[in-house]
Amino acid sequence: MQSSLSLSFAAPSPRSRLPPAAAAAAEPSLSAPISLRFCGLRREALGFTPLRQPASRRAPAPRVQVRGRGKVTSASLSDNGSAPRSFDYDLVIIGAGVGGHGAALHAVEKGLKTAIIEGDVVGGTCVNRGCVPSKALLAVSGRMRELQSDHHLKALGLQVAAAGYDRQGVADHANNLASKIRSNLTNSMKALGVDILTGIGTIVGPQKVKYGKVGFTDNVITAKNIIIATGSVPFVPKGIEVDGKTVITSDHALKLESVPDWIAIVGSGYIGLEFSDVYTALGSEVTFIEALDQLMPGFDPEIGKLAQRVLINPRKIDYHTGVFASKITPAKDGKPVMIELIDAKTKEPKDTLEVDAALIATGRAPFTKGLGLENINVETQRGFVPVDERMRVIDANGKLVPHLYCIGDANGKMMLAHAASAQGISVVEQVTGKDHVLNHLSIPAACFTHPEISMVGLTEPQAREKAQKEGFEVSVAKTSFKANTKALAENEGEGLAKMIYRPDNGEILGVHIFGLHAADLIHEASNAIALGTSINDIKFAVHAHPTLSEVLDELFKSAKVNHPVTSSVSEPVAV
């Protein structure tokens, strides 16, 4: 599920001999020469930012004259093949999800004239059909869990009569949250002067994009740089018939139109796990179907084991691992949902399940059809737009396409909303003359179950593999939430924080947390990785007492680094 590659990257630029300062001023298509770290590319589900984009086969229509601004003046185009010399926009982003939004805001800050094209609703998957509404449902499920946990409440001395919920009320909460965030996003872009262009965006040639609604005349605009940020859609394996009622994807599930008595969840990654938390809190029973041999394949094995013990075993959940759902038929004609399971390896029929509903959470597929990539000789790989470490699009001949970038789920590097946004910012940095390579290993991820799971960097097996290849040692430090005062005060002592690090230089390779507010706690570790802070430095940082952050404090302090490297930020010395 996860792959981590360590790329040693030789900058392809002929000007790589330039000193960094010179390179920074160079054209963005030229890469900086030195010591840039590249990181594992983690493929994970829970991506965002799709854009409905049926392929439009119209010929390009006359382009619209857009008011010029400063140095950018409009120029008419004579032929399709050559790039225009002056542009309508400095930057055009196709897709107004979280990735496109992040890029647009940063572009405006950098003084770029920016437009964003959206064919569906602003906010993309994350805001409309992903992390945002799911957090609303999980907020409900967390409270339901607390109210239903008799022994937990009793231990706190609380008495609560039977808790109940109103399904429509819960669904409305999720929907209202999505609308609110969507309008915030829209307003923030409008306020900054980003042009929001409605329609399906298609690349018609170098630095040229057309957009328009079906049935209307297309507009063609030119842009100095183009970012593709069209995101992804739920991936439904073949053999599965989605009817939106009893066989559903996360898109439907987030509307919470029903709470089935028994729901099968196909896939036990982030999406499946979060929905199992929601459904079991609302009274459903859940059956997981996982193709790999263990549940929660993307997680560090130790964290996965603990998570299974807390999030799966005591709940009304059972599971089938090592099996594919080869055929799923929605409930009809008085029959329940039928799921045929086959062995993942031998492909032999194994079992048939009869359940009330099935949620397909097998990951997400890039939404890149109809982008017009064929016009610029780019071939997608399993739907993903191939890019280099600077998000520059690579064409069928392995060459970089100038002025074209792809961020977010559409490139598949790391299918997380905040990763898309970070990639977008990285691209804007590059097109404004400052080379930048995003360290994907510093991007945290979180699963908002109760308790939460969060992680950044490498898992232990990944780190050990890398260590063997590169010949360094790896150590692991662990702390338990059971030893944390705040966690015990909350009566939530179940949890573990784990750090994988190099004992020789104190570099943090990965941190994994399972426990109360893990998603909020991870950032101390992710920032340390992003900034290259050594354990030797961070262990002297002070944490307020009593707080959950002391779990990480303990973690850093318990690490054993062989040769303390003197901190670059040394004590102040009078000179």
Partner 1 sequence: MASSSLLSPSSSTAANPAASISFSSSLSAAPLPRRPSSAFPRGGRRGRRSLSVQSKIREIFMPALSSTMTEGKIVSWVKSEGDVLSKGESVVVVESDKADMDVETFYDGILAAIVVPEGESAPVGSPIGLLAETEDEVAEAKAKAAAKSGSPSSPPPAPPAAETPAVTSNPAPAIAQPPPQPAAPVGVPGQIVATPSAKKLAKQHKVDINKVTGTGPYGRITPADVEAAAGIQPSFKPAVAVTASPAVAAEPAPAAAAAPPKSAAPAPPPLPGSTVVPFTTMQAAVSKNMLESLSVPTFRVGYPVTTDALDALYLKVKPKGVTMTAILAKAAAMALVQHPVVNASCKDGKSFTYNSNVNIAVAVAINGGLITPVLQDADKLDLYLLSQKWKELVEKARSKQLQPHEYNSGTFTLSNLGMFGVDRFDAILPPGQGAIMAVGASKPTVVADADGFFSVKSKMLVNVTADHRIVYGADLAAFLQTFSKIVENPESLTL
Least CB distance to partner 1 at residue 141 (A): 11
Site for partner 1 in 409-438 (CB under 8 A): none
Q: Does 336 sit near partner 1 (CB under 8 A)?
A: yes
List 152, 305, 464, 543, residue binding partner 1 (CB under 8 A): 305
Least distance to partner 1, CB of residue 515, Å: 12
Instruction: Measure the CA angle with vertex 108, ends 387 and 393; round to 5°.
Output: 10
Closest of 441, 425, 415, 430 to residue 530, by C-alpha: 441
Does the active-site annotation cover 545? Answer: yes
In degrees, rounded to 5, the angle at the alpha carbon of residue 565 between the alpha carbons of residues 561 and 571 is 125
By CB under 8 A, the residues from 140 to 169 that bind partner 1 are 144, 148, 150, 159, 161-169
Task: Output 87 or 262, the one with its CB closest to partner 1.
Answer: 262
The least distance separating partner 1 from the CB of residue 444, rounded to whole angstroms, comes to 24
Q: Is residue 16 within the footprint of partner 1 (CB under 8 A)?
A: no
DSSP lists the bridge partners of residue 512 as 455, 498
Phi-psi region of 363 (alpha: psi -120 to 50; beta: other; left: phi over 0): left
Q: Give whichever of 176 and 217 is closer to partner 1, judged by the CB atom.
A: 176
Tell me, rounded to whole angstroms, the distance of Cα 434 from its chain centroid. 25
Q: For partner 1, which residue of 318, 374, 379, 473 counts as binding (CB under 8 A)?
A: 318
Q: Whole-number minimum distance, CB 46 to partner 1, in Å?
A: 24
List the interface residues with partner 1, window 469-488 (CB under 8 A). Answer: 478, 480, 482-483
Alpha-carbon distance 37 to 534, whole Å? 16
287 near partner 1 (CB under 8 A): yes
* Residue type for position 12: P
Residue 411: phi, psi to the nearest 5? -95, -15
Kindly state whether residue 262 participates in binding partner 1, applying the rule CB under 8 A: yes
Choose among 315, 309, 316, 319: nearest CA to 288.
Answer: 319
The smaller minimum CB distance to partner 1, of residues 158 and 541, is found at 158
Strands across the sheet with 496-501, in order? 445-447, 452-457, 508-515, 496-501, 475-480
Contact between 316 and partner 1 by CB under 8 A: the answer reads yes
Q: Which is nearer to partner 1, 94 or 171 (CB)?
A: 171
Q: Which is nearer to partner 1, 57 or 151 (CB)?
A: 151
Between the alpha carbon of residue 161 and those of residues 153, 249, 278, 460, 560, the distances in Å are 11, 34, 21, 44, 49
Residue whose entry in the numeric block shows the structure tokens 């739920």: 234
Cβ proximity to partner 1: between 37 and 305 the closer is 305
Least distance from partner 1 to the Cβ atom of residue 286, Å: 6
Cα torsion angle, 348, 350, 355, 357, sign: negative
Site for partner 1 contains 349 (CB under 8 A): no
Q: Which of 366, 364, 370 is nearest to 387 (CA)?
A: 366
Instruction: With CA atoms as reference, report the closest residue to 238 among 318, 365, 326.
Output: 326
In the complex, least distance from residue 538 CB atom to partner 1, rounded to whole angstroms: 23
Among 189, 229, 286, 437, binds partner 1 (CB under 8 A): 286
3-state DSSP assignment of residue 297: coil
Q: Which of 173, 512, 523, 545 is catalytic?
A: 545
Amino acid identity of residue 191, one-letter, is: A
Structure tokens at 263: 């729901």
Single out the segment in contact with partner 1 by CB under 8 A; choices: 20-28, 43-51, 311-319, 545-553. Answer: 311-319
**Which residues 168-197 are close enough to bind partner 1 by CB under 8 A?**
168-169
- Interface residues with partner 1 (CB under 8 A) are 144, 148, 150, 159, 161-169, 258-259, 261-262, 282-283, 285-287, 305, 309, 313-314, 316-318, 335-336, 352, 354, 356, 478, 480, 482-483, 496
| Catalytic residue set | 545
